[in-house]
Chains A and B, each alone.
Chain A
Amino acid sequence: MSSIPAIRVVDVHKSFGPLAVLKGVSFDVPRGAVVSMIGASGSGKSTLLRCINRLETPSAGEIYIDGAPMHTLRSIAEINRVRRDLGMVFQQFNLWPHMTVLGNVLEAPRRVRGLARSEAAEVALECLRRVHLLDKADEYPARLSGGQQQRVAIARALAMQPKAMLFDEATSSLDPELTDEVLAVMRDLARDGTTMIVVTHEMRFAREVSDRVLFLHNGLIEEAGPPEEVFGTPRSERCRQFLSKYLQ
C-alpha cells in the first residue's frame, strides 16, 4: 500500500472577514483510516471539512487528496474533478426532493461520471443495498424517515465510488433511535476499509470506530491521538472538560 495519505491537511487557515475560524490546522488521514473530529460548536470542525472538498476556500494552507494538491486548483472544473473523489454527507441530508431515492443516488454517476442509465442504476442499487434501503428505491425522500433519508444521502455519496467519505455531523439532526441506524451503516463502511473523516458529537462512535481522534478548539487541533488516548488520558484541560460533559 502506498504511503501517500488519502488526505493531507497542512497549516490550513480560514477566516470569514475578521473572524478567524481555522488558525493553522494540520493532519493526515491514511488510506482506510477513520478520523473523527470532535469539539464544541464553533470550534471549526465543519469549516475544516468543507475546506477539504472546497465548499469553502481556505484562506491559507495546503490540502492534498491522494497526493494531488487541492489548494492550488482555481477553475471550478478542476475542483469538481477532485470533489468526485470525496463523498460528503451533510447534517441536513440535502436530498433532492423532486427525484426518487434511486434518482438521487444514480444522478451523479450518470451525469458526472457519464455512465449509461442502466450502469448507473446498477451502481446505485448496490449502494442502496449497502445502506439497507433497496426496498425504498422508488419512493420520494419526503416519504422516508430522517434516518432513512440520511442513509440515502450516504448511498448517494458512495455511488461516486469516492476515495474518502466526509461526514458532517451526519446524525446531529436525528432522534436517538434513528441515529443508531445511521451509525450502524457508518460502522459497516469503516469495517469495509472506507477512508472517513467524521465530524461528530457521538463520542461512543468516535471512541469505538476511529483510528484517530482530533479535538478542535478555537480553530486549532488541541489534542490528537488514538481514541484510547484522547478519551482515556487527554493531556489538554479543555479536552478533558469537553469530554467530561459528554461522558457523564
Chain B
Amino acid sequence: MSAALREALNLSVFWEYREVLLKGLAFNFYVFACAAAAALTLGLGAALLRVNRWRPVRWAGTLHVEIFRNAPDYVMVVWVHFVLPLLLGFAIGRRLEFPPFLSAVIALGLVYSGYFAETFRAGIQSIPVGQIEAGRACGMSERLVLWRIILPQVVRRMLPEAVNQFVSLFKATTIVSLIAVPDLMYRVSMVTQQEMRPLPLYTGAALTYFAIIFLAASLVRAAAERWRQKVYA
C-alpha cells in the first residue's frame, strides 16, 4: 500500500474533528429539509398547473418545469445568491442581500421542484379517472378528491422515484459550501487548510455521505415495498 493511500484511509484526523464536522453535517440536513419542503410544495403546484384543463395554465407549469429542471444546481446556487438579489433589489428599488442558507434553499428548492413536478404529474395522471369520478359522484369537492383520493396514492406510487430525487437533492447539498454555507464540505475544507491533510478528511466525508444516503434510501424503499405488498397483493 502506497503512503498516499495509507494516508487517505487513516481517518483519525476526521475523527478528531468529528464535533465540528458533525455540526457541518447538520447544515446539510437543514438545507436538505428546507429545500425538500420547498421543492415538494412548488413541485406539487407546478404539477397541478401541468394537469389543468386550461392550456395557458398548463404552459405556465411546463415553463416552470423546463426552466428549473434544465438549470444545473451549481449554477443556480451561484445565480440565486449573487444575481437574484440584484434583480429583486432593482425591482423594489433598494439593496438586497440573501443569507447563504436562504440562497441555498431557494436554489435547490427551485431546481428540484422541476423534477418533483414531473414525478407528481406522472403520479396524478396514473390515477384512473373513474376513481376521481366516484369521489365527485359522492359529492366530494375537488380539494377533497385531491387530498383524499389522488395524493395519498400519488405519494405511494412516486416513492421509489422520489427516493432517487431526495438522494440527488441530498448530494446536491454538498455544493452549498460554494456560497459559504458552513456545511460538512465547507468545514472539511477549513480543517484541511489547518491540518493540510485533505485525503483522509475528504475520504471521511465521502464515507459519511454514503452511509447516510444508503441507510435512509434503503429504509424508505423497504417501507414503500411493504406498503405495496399490503395493498396491491
Contact = CB atoms under 8 A, between A and B. Distances in A.
A80 B156 CA distance: 28
A108 B140 contact: yes
Contacts of A96: 131, 134-135, 149, 153
A160 B134 CA distance: 13
Given A98-B152, A112-B144, A142-B231, A92 B130 contact: yes
A194 to B, nearest CB: 16
A94 B131 contact: yes
A156 B133 contact: no
Interface string A82-108: 011011101010111110000000011
B119 to A, nearest CB: 18
A156 B153 contact: no
B142 A97 contact: no
Contacts, number: 74
B208 interface: no
A77 interface: yes
B232 interface: yes
B136 A83 contact: yes
Contacts of A95: 131, 134
Secondary structure type dominating chain A contacts: mixed
Given A55-B136, A111-B140, A94 B148 contact: no
Interface in A109-125: 111-112
B23 to A, nearest CB: 40
A247 interface: no
A76 interface: yes
Contact of A84 (B130, B133, B135, B138): B138
Contact size class for A? Answer: 20 to 34
A93 to B, nearest CB: 8
A27 B140 CA distance: 28
B153 to A, nearest CB: 5
B127 to A, nearest CB: 10
Given A94-B128, A94-B133, A140-B231, A112 B153 contact: no
B56 to A, nearest CB: 21
A90 B139 contact: no
Most buried by A among B137, B153, B156, B231: B137
B233 A80 contact: no
Interface in B137-179: 137-142, 144, 148-149, 152-153, 156
21 contacts: A53-B137, A55-B137, A81-B139, A83-B139, A88-B137, A90-B134, A92-B128, A94-B134, A95-B131, A96-B131, A96-B153, A97-B131, A107-B148, A108-B140, A111-B140, A112-B139, A140-B233, A142-B233, A156-B134, A157-B137, A160-B139
Interface of A: 53, 55, 76-77, 80-81, 83-84, 86-88, 90, 92, 94-98, 107-108, 111-112, 140, 142-143, 153, 156-157, 160
Given A80-B141, A112-B139, A156-B134, 17 more contacts: A53-B137, A55-B133, A55-B137, A76-B141, A77-B141, A80-B136, A83-B137, A84-B138, A90-B137, A94-B130, A97-B153, A98-B153, A107-B138, A108-B140, A111-B140, A112-B140, A140-B230
Interface of B: 128, 130-131, 133-142, 144, 148-149, 152-153, 156, 230-233
